[in-house]
A and B are shown apart, each in its own frame.
Chain A
Amino acid sequence: MSKQVLIVDDSVSVRQMVEATLKSAGYIVTAAKDGLEALNICKARSFDFILTDQNMPNMDGLTFIKSTRELPAHLRTPIVVLTTEASDAMKAQGRAAGATGWMVKPFDPAKLLEIAKKVMG
């Protein structure tokens, strides 16, 4: 059974890259362009892994995570924040919002797959 991944990023190229990478490894990927869109998707269905950007229009990543954690289906979903700043403040905010972890941008396909594998097995 293929695992379901949601990628949330406002950049088309990043989205495409993440999608293609994860698809190449057999994951089923859904993409959303901002937190709001992602939240609406999450209200309708569950995922095995969510990767979200932090800085996005309409709704940022942390707000999205906070809201998603309020949905029963997503209490345990691993959610990783893509961030360019892995400061302590950022980590504290991420933890408080309910994120499972963080991943620093830029990243490459190999690292992405490694993390996906670690998270979903």
Chain B
Amino acid sequence: MDASSTTDISKEYLTFTLGDEHYAIDILMVKEIRGYESVTKIANAPPFIKGVINLRGDIVPIIDLRIKFNVGAASYDEFTIVIVLHIHNRIVGIVVDGVSDVVSLSRDQLRPPPDFGVAFDSRYLLGLATINEQMIILVDINELISSEEMGLFAFDEK
């Protein structure tokens, strides 16, 4: 399950942008990448939960991290990207401004995450890395998406 325990050498990450910031998530969590399409709205949901889509028969929630973390402008056009994630047997789509690349990072390239200056709470961060003089923030997407703060999963039922 957890690939981090199997290798210390290097792991692959998908990098994407939210506003001007560059982020990376474990590629193993990514199910697919698709364009943004219109969603069915859900009543009484926080604004960052855009609604649900039909992903080949599954009803999948779409969340906009830009709204949640107040980075960049939440606009939707033909370039808006949805990264579909597989988390705890659930499927969740996250809206991002763009997907950049898949990078390989080894542990010694990582620096501890900062306590401030990043949109995400540091408990969702795995560390920082620099690639081509670009700072990339490694996000623990598993932890973030399943957090109570996101309210995606019904906690009382667990």
**Is there direct touching of A and B in the complex, by C-beta distance under 8 Å?**
no
Binding site for A on B (CB under 8 A): none
Residues of A within 8 A of B (CB): none
